[in-house]
Amino acid sequence: MSTVGIKELKNRLTHYLRHTKQGEEVIVTERGKPIALLQPIRSPLTPLSREARLARMAARGLLTLPTSRRRNAFAPLRVAGRPASQIILEDRR
Looking at residue 46, its pLDDT comes to: 63
Residue 59 has what pLDDT?
79
| pTM greater than 0.85 (yes/no) | no
**pLDDT tens for each residue of the chain, 93 residues long:** 789 999 999 999 999 999 988 888 899 999 888 888 888 876 556 656 787 788 878 878 888 887 776 666 777 778 888 888 888 998 987
Report d(CA 46, CA 42) in Å as an integer: 10
3-state helix, strand, coil in the chain (%, to 5): 35, 15, 45
Give, in degrees to the nearest 5, the angle at Cα 23 between 48 and 44: 55
Q: Which domains does the chain carry? A: 2-59 (3.40.1620.10)
Ramachandran angles phi, psi of 37, nearest 5°:
-135, 120
